C-alpha cells in the first residue's frame, strides 16, 4: 500500500482531481512548503537543485518516486512562470538506438510525446530527456521536450502515485 506524501495530504481537499493547475502555481506551492504537490492521481516534487539525469532518477527513487512520466496532454501542461527552468523527465534511450522508454516501463507512445520540433535529434551523446521551460508561451505550445547529454545538470520533477481516501 502506497502512502500519500504528507504535503499532498494537506493539499488533498484544496483542489479537485480534474482541475488543471498551472505548473508555476504548483512550483510556487512546492517552494513555499518544501514538499509535494497533488495533481489528479499523482504527487509531484519540483527540485530547487540541479543534478545529472542519473542522479536525478536516484534522488527520486530515494523518495519512493521516479522522474515524472507524462501520460496525457493534461499532465503535459504548458509551463509558464518558471522562466529558464529545465527539468529532467523520466524518458531515456538507454541503448542509444532511438528507442525511448519511460522509467516506470509505461509504453512509450510517439503520438503522446511532446518533443520540440526537430527533437529528438538522436545526437549520439544525447539519450536523456528534459522539459525546457521557456517562461512564456512559445510558438511550439506545449511541445517542450528535448534530448540532452545525460551528464548535464538540470532540475527534476519526481512523481509518485497518490492514494486519496
In a domain, residue 94? The reply is yes
- What's the pLDDT tens digit per position in 2-61? 344 444 443 333 333 333 334 444 444 444 445 788 888 888 898 989 999 999 999 999
Spatial distance between the Cα atoms of 66 and 110, rounded to a whole number of angstroms:
21
CA trace torsion 24, 9, 17, 161 (10° rounding): 90
- pTM confidence score: 0.76
Q: Which of 41, 22, 18 is nearest to 30 (CA)?
A: 22
**Where do we find the cell 527539468?**
87
In a domain, residue 62? The reply is yes
Range of the domain at 63: 6-161
Measured CA distances, 124 to 6, 59, 81, 94, 134 (Å): 41, 26, 32, 12, 25
Q: Which of 132, 156, 150, 157 is nearest to 94 (CA)?
A: 150
In a domain, residue 1? The reply is no
- What's the pLDDT tens digit per position in 51-109? 999 999 999 999 999 999 988 777 776 444 456 788 999 999 988 888 999 999 999 98
Spatial distance between the Cα atoms of 156 and 142, rounded to a whole number of angstroms:
18
- Work out how many domains the chain is built from and give that number: 1
**What is the CATH number for 33?**
3.10.100.10
Residue 10, C-alpha cell as written in the block: 494537506
In a domain, residue 28? The reply is yes
In a domain, residue 104? The reply is yes
Amino acid at each position: 500500500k502506497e502512502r500519500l506524501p504528507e504535503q499532498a495530504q494537506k493539499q488533498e481537499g484544496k483542489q479537485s482531481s480534474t482541475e488543471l493547475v498551472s505548473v508555476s502555481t504548483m512550483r510556487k506551492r512546492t517552494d513555499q512548503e518544501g514538499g509535494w504537490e497533488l495533481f489528479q492521481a499523482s504527487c509531484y516534487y519540483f527540485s530547487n537543485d540541479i543534478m545529472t539525469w542519473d542522479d536525478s532518477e536516484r534522488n527520486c527513487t530515494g523518495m519512493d518516486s521516479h522522474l515524472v512520466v507524462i501520460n496525457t496532454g493534461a499532465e503535459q501542461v504548458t509551463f509558464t512562470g518558471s522562466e529558464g527552468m529545465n527539468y529532467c523527465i523520466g524518458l531515456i534511450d538507454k541503448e542509444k538506438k532511438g528507442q525511448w522508454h519511460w522509467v516506470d516501463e509505461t509504453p512509450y507512445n510517439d503520438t503522446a510525446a511532446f518533443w520540440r520540433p526537430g527533437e529528438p535529434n538522436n545526437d549520439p551523446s544525447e539519450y536523456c530527456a528534459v522539459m525546457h521551460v521557456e517562461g512564456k508561451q512559445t510558438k511550439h505550445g506545449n511541445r517542450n521536450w528535448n534530448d540532452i547529454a545525460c551528464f548535464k545538470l538540470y532540475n527534476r520533477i519526481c512523481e509518485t502515485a497518490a492514494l486519496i481516501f
